[in-house]
Amino acid sequence: MASVVAFAELESKLKEGVCGVQTDSRKIQAGDIFLAVPGETEDGAKYIDDALGRGAKSIVACESVCTELSGRLPSDVALCAQTDLREAVAKLAVARYHTDTLKLKLLGVTGTNGKTTATYLMEALLTALGEKVGVLGTVSYRWPGHEEAAPLTTPDPLSIHAMLAEMEKAGVGYCVMEVSSHAILQKRVACLPFAGAAFTNLTQDHLDFHKTMDAYFAAKAKLFCELPRPDKAMAINGDDQYGQKLLALCPKAIGFGFVDHPGSQTDQNLHGQIMRQDTQGLSLRMRYQGREWELQSPLIGAFNAANLLTVQALALGLGFSEKAFDGLSGFAGVRGRLERVKAGGRHVFVDYAHTPDALENVLKALRKAGFQRIVALFGCGGNRDRGKRPLMGEAVAKYADVAVLTSDNPRFEDPKAIIEDVLPGLTGARELYVEPDRRLATKLALGLIAKDCDCLLIAGKGHEDYQIIQGKRHHYSDQEVVSELSRADASF
């Protein structure tokens, strides 16, 4: 019969380096602890026998699983029953990697749009100040001497704590991390000592998971109201309706925005003003606690002005002065975030916009930058929130002159069925083309723009270099396709 072990004893073993801990049975080494965590699609309990076969000596599982295992496992295997297995993973990760004693400061950025750009901007600001910086986010996980592609915006807890420990060894002073709502609810960021948190905005997305916007907001709010370190610096977008709700819950946070809201603590908030926005970038003026300063940026669009405010507000909360913000002026942008792609003299931009709000913002930015005729190529991801599909069509119909509807990542859905979901939103489109093959659609769209005052926005995939079709990844990069087509046809 299996023995019983207290959770605190497992924590002690990990702190002493006696064994390791895993949630993936394939990574188990002799003597390790295996956590049988229930997942979205599979239950970790299915892999207990595999973990034991690979040498696991301690199993952490729910009460019912431990009861079932108790009679059939030998006495040299220890069982530990836990009611919250996701929380248990986080606590054991802290013990294994000693992240409760981290010297580096961890900063989290959450919101529907702008997370990636905000983390890159914060990285640029801190690097300009001489700091070593780590970044965990949608594009990659990286710090000085290390970079790897990111399979998830926010990785699993064991990976996060392991990478934070490696950053500490590498002398990293700050880690800036994108925090998704999924990760918050799944407790992937539980027990992390955030020194700062920023809220960019909240618009419709992920309702296949959250079901309602209120539930989506409640998940985001946990980063500010429930996770450790009540003294953490907080920056919240007061121009966003959900940001206003969050500011009411977090009175010590710095609010930021371009509008002075009635009843707001103006002196505590960072106020921005867009002095200029065109094809060359942005000129901003800021005001905070009686101080004023200006910032020139090559980034395009009001949404990027908001990203610049996000980072400045968080930095102010961390104790930096406005002099530090000179480091933002040279930041040219993130791959796949309104990225200009060479196309034989034509104006072509690739952007990750895959929500109605993000599409609207990027199209408005291009219009205000001075482009007179805008062609927008876009699609919608499969097996995701169907409710946003016609809304994305509406955004393109309203703000683009020409709509080219194609495939994004259809996953397990029929691309034509996804397109049918989008089309009702495009009834007001001035000019519409439908081509499910993304490469052919790109060729078509390139042929629709002139060199002078037209531009093409290719939206949805941004930095991604793949399409997921019937569950398989196929190499596909919007940037590469535009370059190839432009080289192949001199008329482009």
Instruction: Spell out the domains of the chain, with CATH numbers in brackets.
Output: 3-95 (3.40.1390.10), 98-328 (3.40.1190.10), 339-488 (3.90.190.20)
What is the Cα–Cα distance from 159 to 144, expressed in whole angstroms? 17
User: Longest C-alpha distance within the chain, in Å?
Assistant: 78
pTM, to two decimals: 0.82
**List of residues 6+ apart from 166 with CB closer than 8 A:** 143, 146
Residues 437, 438, 444, 450, Cα dihedral to 10°:
170
**List of residues 6+ apart from 205 with CB closer than 8 A:** 112, 216, 354, 355, 385, 388
The pair phi, psi for residue 328, each rounded to 5°, is -85, -20
DSSP track, 202-248: --S--HHHHSSHHHHHHHHHHHHHTSS-TT-EEEEETTSHHHHHHHH
AA letter at 322 = E
Residues 426, 432, 435, 440, Cα dihedral to 10°:
-140
What tokens were used for 53? 């076969």
Sheet holding 58-61, edge to edge: 3-4, 78-81, 58-61, 33-35, 21-22
What tokens were used for 344? 């034989």
**In tens digits, what is the pLDDT along the chain, a chain of 492 residues?**
889 999 999 999 999 999 999 999 999 999 999 999 987 778 999 999 999 999 999 999 999 999 999 888 888 999 999 999 999 999 999 999 999 999 999 999 999 889 999 999 999 999 999 999 999 998 899 999 999 988 888 899 999 999 999 999 999 999 999 999 889 989 999 999 999 999 999 986 655 655 688 888 999 999 999 877 778 999 999 999 999 999 999 999 999 999 876 555 566 899 999 999 887 889 999 999 999 999 999 998 888 999 999 999 999 999 999 999 999 998 988 889 888 898 988 999 999 999 998 899 999 989 988 888 999 999 999 998 899 999 999 999 999 999 999 999 999 999 999 999 999 999 999 999 999 999 999 999 999 998 778 999 999 999 999 999 998 999 999 999 999 999 887 555
